[in-house]
Structure 1
Amino acid sequence: MLAQPLPDLAAWSQYLTGQPIPVLLDTAEELSLLAEVEARHGTVDAHLIDDAVGDDPLMTLQVLTHVSRHRTDRQITDVDTVTAAVVLMGIGPFFQTFSPPLVLDDHLEAHPRAVAEIRRLIRRAWCAARLVTEFALLHTDGHASALQKAALLHGHANILLWCHAPVLAQAVRDRCEQDPAQDSAHHERAVLNIELRALEHQLARDWGLPATLRRLTDPDDARSQILLQPQRRLLELALMLADRLDREGTQATPTLDELDELSTLLTLSTPSVQRLIDNTLA
């Protein structure tokens, strides 16, 4: 576990990309069951694996980074889903590569508060992923799958910080709670020498995550800000709503401006947008 901050963005990215990525206990159990079914009956397919583990952002990150690192010259398109990755790898090699996985609870056995914080961050990601998927489907958007994965992986730098430097992650959290007038980036710089948002984009580039996922979130990608403007904005709104729900609980609601903007983007009335959000999160 890292106990002292690293000097810069490059050092942080090099450190974290070299660490194992743990997975949720439920994911590990599902993988074990599927591996047993495949060994006995040979009936597991890529969709079954995606259904079992695709909602775990840590497992999704592990699969996408593995496929990126082992990309061949013949692979001309990005792999941006667990299903596509399993098809590319094959069922047997998938289980050989990812079984048995490192389980989050075992990895952080001495840091239960870090486990709790990671689970909170993952619940927020699930919420954003559900919202943006519904937004994208109503928008008749071909990027729906990429938007869902971008929301699911949002915040992975923070999650990995809690995984591999929980003392530093807690120090950032404590500063944010003690001085909420300052934005989180200020406290991140004070403790870590970097901002987590910048680290997230650096990790995505260094890992070679799918280009569409990077374009949907990279603040420096001016071209995508134009070409993917509605998609990026739908993702931003979903993330904002999920963050507010995380902070304020079920009483949190979209602002009137957010409802109006979503109404325009989705060509729905504002009451219909509110019902869509309520039904999605019910």
Structure 2
Amino acid sequence: MLDTQPPRPPAPADLAAWLKLFGSAEMPVLRQTARRLDEARQNIDRVTGRDITDIVLQDPLLAIRVLAYIQSFGSKRLRSDITNIASAVMMLGVEPFFRKFENPQTIEATLGRKPQALLGVLQVILRTQRASRYAHDWAFARHDMNVEEVALAALLSDLAEILLWCFAPELAIDIRSRLQSDRALRSGGVQREVLGFPLAELQLALCREWHLPDLLTTLMDSSSAHLPRVQNVRLAVNLARHSIDGWTDEAIPDDFAAIQTLLNISRETLLERLQLPPELLPGLVKQDTRAAEGRFWRP
């Protein structure tokens, strides 16, 4: 039988080509997000900006679409003040928001014939949602002046990886397979082998290309790791990554020690904040914390 599958288009040759690909593509959203938006639109007379914000903050791709779109409005100074979704929605207005983001394409439809890729991207999004919750909680505990800004940065922390799963799933699968086959490999090194650059480089390039607020870019940039707000984001991302498959990863004790230092709290208090199942608590309390001394956070 002849192969009737269309030939796979070649991967973009360099970083600029990747930026062009992502810039011209329609960002899909989660099916659940599309459903919630439709329900809200049907009750538009009772929907508030806060309601819309709550929907957007559960979906990293819709969040980046909103932030990128808002850059076409108003003066540069006004746009630079939009560093969270609530402000963006307020600037757009409820009805214009629904007109702009009506009938979005969904991730599930886009990757419906590629179940392995669909599972991969949903796992990454689940991880970013968890990271965002952690970042929000810790920013609130630190009395941060703009808690949502920190949570949004954590939600968007793996944007480049999400886009890779959506638009070049074969490459994303290749990267994951290599990392799974050899646990000694570093993610950035494998990404460079497959793509020609690490995803962190693409992430920052996307931030610049889409003119995202400087503060959000800083919060996602590991070179600013000395800043407490950046530590907040990165520690949330790290803990979400290490705990997404359970609480046995050997890196978790170091994560806990760094979070305790950031928040100036005990292990018991941290575990209470994380709201973990009671049966896990005894083992986590007794975990070796020797690495806490002299090791705050490392990118």
| TM-score range relative to shorter protein | 0.7 to 0.9
The structure with more helix, counted as a fraction of residues: 1
| Inter-CA distance 137–106: structure 2 relative to 1 (3 Å threshold) | same
RMSD: 2.4
Match of 2:11 among 2, 5, 13: 5
Note the C-alpha offset of 1:24.
0.4
Is residue 273 from structure 1 mapped to residue 279 from structure 2 by the alignment? no
| Inter-CA distance 258–169: structure 2 relative to 1 (3 Å threshold) | closer
Task: Give the aligned residue type for 1:19.
Answer: A
Query: Secondary structure, in 3 states, of the residue corresponding to 2:163?
Result: helix
Query: Secondary structure, in 3 states, of the residue corresponding to 1:174?
Result: helix
Give me the whole-angstrom Cα distance separating, in 2, the residues matched to 1:15 and 1:53: 23
Query: Secondary structure, in 3 states, of the residue corresponding to 1:150?
Result: helix
Residue matched to 2:43? 37
Please tell me whether the aligned partners of residues 154 and 220 of structure 2 are also in contact (alpha carbons under 8 angstroms). no
Please tell me whether the aligned partners of residues 134 and 280 of structure 1 are also in contact (alpha carbons under 8 angstroms). no
Is residue 243 from structure 1 mapped to residue 249 from structure 2 by the alignment? no
- Which deviates more from structure 2 when the two are superposed, residues 249-258 or residues 137-146? 249-258
Query: Secondary structure, in 3 states, of the residue corresponding to 2:71?
Result: helix
Q: Which has the higher contact order (CA 8 A, sep 6+)?
A: 1
Q: Which runs of no fewer than 5 residues in structure 2 stay unpaired?
A: 1-6, 281-299
Task: Give the aligned residue type for 1:210.
Answer: P
Superposed CA deviations along residues 52-76 of structure 1, whole A, max 9, x for unmatched, are: 3321111111111111244435625
Give me the whole-angstrom Cα distance separating, in 2, the residues matched to 1:139 and 1:115: 36
Please tell me whether the aligned partners of residues 154 and 233 of structure 2 are also in contact (alpha carbons under 8 angstroms). yes
Note the C-alpha offset of 1:199.
0.3
**Residue correspondences, number:** 273
Q: What's the % identity of the aligned pairs?
A: 30
Is residue 135 from structure 1 mapped to residue 138 from structure 2 by the alignment? yes
Match of 1:151 among 139, 150, 154: 154
Query: What TM-score comes out, normalization by structure 1 length?
Result: 0.88
| Inter-CA distance 177–256: structure 2 relative to 1 (3 Å threshold) | closer
Task: Give the aligned residue type for 2:85.
Answer: V
Superposed, 1:1-282 pairs within 5 Å as 3-38=9-44, 42-73=45-76, 75=78, 77-220=80-223, 224-226=224-226, 229-246=227-244, 248-252=245-249, 255-279=252-276
Task: Give the aligned residue type for 1:10.
Answer: A
